[in-house]
Structure 1
Amino acid sequence: METSTLNKIKRSAGNILENQLLQSGRVLEVRHWQPSTMIEIDLHLPQVDMQSWHEVPYIKVKVDNLTYRDYTPASWDAETSTCTLYIDAAHKGPGSKWARELQNGDTIRYFKIRTTRHAPASTPAIIGLGDESSMGHMLALQQMVLPSTRFSGAIIMANDDHRNLFDQYFKSPIKPIERRDAFGHNSLMRWVMEQHYNLEHSVFYLAGNNTMVSELRKLLKLQGYASNQIKAHGFWS
């Protein structure tokens, strides 16, 4: 059997499976930050029980034929079943292309929402550290931390305008800082050392590109933080 025929059979089987498993939501509004490599998307997800979100969730969204990307709701309202995504579209790929082409009123398809296993610890200090790709993750963690005074953090953002917009849009203890190294771990570690966090009572939540997360974890351990004080969740490489 020719390869093209096999591919058609596989695609057809995949589409049938998708139709059985995928759920639908609606795009309420799309906002492009300037420059438009950061895209803000409001969604209505009527089938989702957002009151059950006690750990930072993520949505596995269909962005192309048999192609999916994970996005974290940055904030949500359980009563209206609405949430907001922030998608870093600075790199090429099907997820970035999908986000750039979304319009108000579009339907999205997604698998059931899953958890990153990041839930606020009971420690006095919770610190979130990430990059542009994990902005939603950090804002979601902030929403979950009570009282809010326990939370602080920093996010690497390469673009000056995006850092300014972050400060304007969010009244947040998350500090947008300039990226001074390729993956951002050295910049974040420098910021951490300037904060003088308590060695025993601080728990770090890392999210973002895999290299940054892996290297930052190593650097925190070198500073004396134990493995159970570092919660890591890596994204794309």
Structure 2
Amino acid sequence: MEISILQQIKNKAGKLIESQLLKNAEVLDVRTWESSGLVELELHLPNVNMRDWNQVPYIKLRVDDFSFRDYTPFGWDAETNTCSVLIDADHQGPGSRWAKSLQKGDTVFYLATDSTRQSPHPTDCVVGLGDASSIGHLLALQQLTVPVSRFDSALVIDNPLTGQLLCENYSPALNTVPSLEELSVWLINQGYSTAHTWFYLIGNQQLVISLRRILKGMGHSNIRVKGFWS
């Protein structure tokens, strides 16, 4: 009983703190990508100045009581204070359950938006590499790369339907390959300049480590890394 009372006090204190710190956002639309496990949210963030987003941003969304996940906004419009968030919900966890439960018109809560401290090189070729968890990050990196013709990308995604959906919904489309081995072949075939190409590796920690090793073996040294999970 004593533990139960202490837990109740802790929960009440936590909710009080959350109510003072959290900000509101409205869900304008929810698009579930059938057979891919991806959920795309269109959000309205009235209290965020998106004109300051000159580096890839992130938003810390509350997905459950005292539970937060970082997601990357992309496709933002500073005039309307809207953006999209793409969530890989093809696994078990509070973030996946939360994303699948949302409907148009819902209010969601976030702790903060901030920068990932990652921005595209201002003049050289920019190449983003990752997996399904990094789609949003690469789309944000693509949005910041001007002109967009300097941007290229490839994702390791073994679901061909996801690759098809990326081609149909985004332009320029993100390239997809089914395995790390095929991504290695893809990189060789591109013939990127070692002096004027910058690589941005995002996603699963083991994938990022492997990609960095492959690129270094090809003579590349302009590499930026952001591992999400292990």
State the percentage of identical aligned residues: 46
Moved more, 214-223 or 135-144: 214-223
Deviation at 1:231, TM superposition (A): 0.9
User: In the alignment, is the contact (CA less than 8 A) between 2:142 and 2:148 conserved in 1?
Assistant: yes
User: In the alignment, is the contact (CA less than 8 A) between 1:123 and 1:203 conserved in 2?
Assistant: no
The alignment's C-alpha RMSD in Å is 1.5
Structure 2 unaligned runs (5+)?
A: none
User: In the alignment, is the contact (CA less than 8 A) between 2:36 and 2:159 conserved in 1?
Assistant: no
Q: Deviations over 1:187-218 (max 9, x none)?
A: 43332122110011111011111111122122
Q: Residues 6 and 199 (structure 1 numbering): CA distance in 2 closer, same or farther, change over 3 Å?
A: same
Secondary structure, aligned partner of 2:103: coil
Deviation at 1:36, TM superposition (A): 5.2
Moved more, 1-10 or 208-217: 1-10
Deviation at 1:222, TM superposition (A): 2.3
Distance in 2, Cα, partners of 1:36 & 1:6: 42
Amino acid at match of 1:89: A
The match for 1:233 among 198, 203, 226 is: 226
Distance in 2, Cα, partners of 1:20 & 1:48: 17
Q: Deviations over 1:64-120 (max 9, x none)?
A: 010011110121110000001111101110000000000000001001101111111
Aligned to 1:192: 187
Q: Deviations over 1:133-191 (max 9, x none)?
A: 1101000000000111111111122211111111111121521222x3xxx4x443332
Q: Deviations over 1:43-84 (max 9, x none)?
A: 011001000001000111000010011110121110000001
Q: Residues 36 and 131 (structure 1 numbering): CA distance in 2 closer, same or farther, change over 3 Å?
A: closer
Distance in 2, Cα, partners of 1:66 & 1:108: 14
Amino acid at match of 1:135: I
Distance in 2, Cα, partners of 1:118 & 1:12: 37
- Report which of the two has the higher share of strand: 2
Distance in 2, Cα, partners of 1:82 & 1:75: 8
Aligned to 2:120: 120
Amino acid at match of 1:141: L
Q: Confirm whether residue 74 of structure 1 aligns to residue 74 of structure 2.
A: yes
Q: Confirm whether residue 105 of structure 1 aligns to residue 122 of structure 2.
A: no
Aligned to 2:40: 40
Amino acid at match of 1:97: R
Aligned to 2:166: 166
Distance in 2, Cα, partners of 1:205 & 1:8: 45
Aligned to 1:143: 143
Amino acid at match of 2:83: C
User: In the alignment, is the contact (CA less than 8 A) between 1:151 and 1:173 conserved in 2?
Assistant: no
Aligned to 1:91: 91
User: In the alignment, is the contact (CA less than 8 A) between 2:194 and 2:220 conserved in 1?
Assistant: yes
Q: Confirm whether residue 49 of structure 1 aligns to residue 82 of structure 2.
A: no
Report how many aligned residue pairs link the two structures.
230
Q: Deviations over 1:10-38 (max 9, x none)?
A: 22222111111111100001011111511
Distance in 1, Cα, partners of 2:43 & 2:56: 17
Q: Confirm whether residue 220 of structure 1 aligns to residue 215 of structure 2.
A: yes
Distance in 1, Cα, partners of 2:184 & 2:96: 28
User: In the alignment, is the contact (CA less than 8 A) between 2:166 and 2:174 conserved in 1?
Assistant: no
